[in-house]
């Protein structure tokens, strides 16, 4: 049995959150399927994950052909985030849940208290 790294669990949780919001199976997000109902959530996972991880790692996990595809996914995320209606509602729900459940994936960490002066 191989040892699992903490980031593997974080990635799995991120995919589960996005899959739940988009009502698809997690395995479909992490596949090579090119239907719109899978690519949009895959782009969201790529954009969020690549904030704290390399483009190469993100591309490998999502079976992208190259790290450049991750950059396109990040641009797509910005467009989706600026849209309106159900698309924006889904993107906002993913963001809320990620911030609540695994905030460190988005670079949000609990603030440590300042040391007391002696």
The mean pLDDT value for 42-58 works out to 95
DSSP state letters, 18-85? HHHHHTS-HHHHTS----HHHHHHHHHHHHHHTTTS-HHHHHHHTT-SSHHHHHHHHHHHHHHHH--T
- Tell me, what's the pLDDT at 118? 59
Digit-coded pLDDT (tens) for 100-109? 999 999 877 7
Query: Tokens representing 113?
Result: 């208290």
List domains and CATH numbers for the chain: 6-106 (1.10.1750.10)
The mean pLDDT value for 13-33 works out to 96
Q: What are phi and psi of 24, to 5 degrees?
A: -130, 165
Digit-coded pLDDT (tens) for 67-97? 999 999 999 999 988 999 999 999 999 999 9
């Amino acid at each position: 049995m191989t040892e699992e790294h903490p980031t593997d669990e974080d990635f799995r949780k991120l995919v589960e959150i996005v899959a739940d919001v988009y009502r698809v199976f997690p395995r479909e997000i992490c596949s090579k399927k090119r239907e719109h109902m899978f690519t949009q959530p895959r782009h969201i996972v790529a954009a969020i994950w690549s904030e704290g991880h390399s483009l190469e790692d993100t591309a490998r996990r999502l079976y992208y052909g190259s790290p450049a595809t991750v950059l396109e996914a990040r641009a797509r995320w910005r467009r989706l985030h600026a849209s309106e209606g159900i698309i924006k509602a889904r993107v906002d729900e993913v963001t809320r849940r990620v911030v609540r459940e695994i905030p460190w994936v988005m670079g949000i960490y609990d603030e440590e208290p300042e040391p007391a002066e002696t």
